[in-house]
Amino acid sequence: MTVEMLLIRHAAHGDLGKILTGRTTGVPLTAAGREQAKALAAKLGDTDLAAIHSSPAWRALETAAILAAPTARQVRPGAALDEIDFGEWTGRDYAALDDDPEWREWNANRAAATARGGESMISVLARLRGFMTGALERYCGRTIALVTHCDIIRTLVIDILGLTANAVHRLEVAPASLTRIRYSRHGGTLISLNEQPA
């Protein structure tokens, strides 16, 4: 009784690497990002997907729509796959955040810290585990795609590997990359990490 999950990080957008986009609304993919998503759609080819679920963030929905286009499959947005709520840090330049001691503590001790005015990693993991349990019941024996965010994918993977949230920065998850897991009621198995679209 398993479900195979294709964890897909949204493709590139204009703020990538410069601004902590978080849950900022209306952030579209760049032209290069759209090309990344098309390349990933080609890589997936004729994969028989039971469903495509997505974060409600525009950049994720846009990526998911490109993946869904060849089969006209419906994209199912859901809050469980949304980016971490970074609270007061949302929309700030990374360079400015580097001077914030709470930001540094957040990144050094994800297992215990909470984003200022936002979420803790414990709450992020709780919502993700709830989604995974529901997906297992609904899609047992099938394959689904989950279009989401870097830290969401890393959180799921480190949980599967039995690591704490402090290990989140050990994993590379590039834009438009694919990470494959197999999930059962006993937990998950990592199949592949950070596959590139081309």
CATH number at residue 139: 3.40.50.1240
pLDDT range class, residue 95, cuts 50, 70, 90: very high
Dihedral pair phi/psi, residue 126, rounded to 5°: -60, -45
> Which percentage of the chain shows pLDDT scores above 90?
94
Q: Is the pTM of this model over 0.85?
A: yes
Q: Which tens digit of pLDDT belongs to each residue from 56-70?
A: 999 999 999 999 999
Q: Which token pair is 125? A: 């993991």
Residue 37 identity (one-letter amino acid)? A
Q: Cα–Cα–Cα angle for 62, 171, 4, nearest 5°?
A: 60
Residue 69 identity (one-letter amino acid)? A
Beta bridge partners of 120: 114
Residue 52 identity (one-letter amino acid)? I
Domain housing 97: 2-195
Say whether 48 sits in a helix, a strand or coil: coil
Q: Identify the DSSP state of 19.
A: B
Look up tokens 């709450």; give the residue.
123
pLDDT range class, residue 179, cuts 50, 70, 90: very high
Is the model's pLDDT at 192 over the cut of 90? yes
Classify burial at 93, counting beta carbons within 10 Å of its beta carbon; exposed 0-12, middle 13-18, buried 19 or more: exposed
Which pLDDT belongs to residue 71?
86
Is the model's pLDDT at 22 over the cut of 90? yes
Is the model's pLDDT at 198 over the cut of 80? no
Is the model's pLDDT at 16 over the cut of 90? yes
Look up tokens 């006209």; give the residue.
72
In this structure, are strands 143-148 and 178-184 parallel, antiparallel, or unpaired? Answer: unpaired
What's the rounded Cα separation, in Å, for the pair 171 and 154? Answer: 6
- How many Cβ atoms from other residues are within 10 Å of residue 178's Cβ? 21
Please state the domain count of the chain.
1
Residue 42 identity (one-letter amino acid)? A
Q: Identify the DSSP state of 111.
A: T
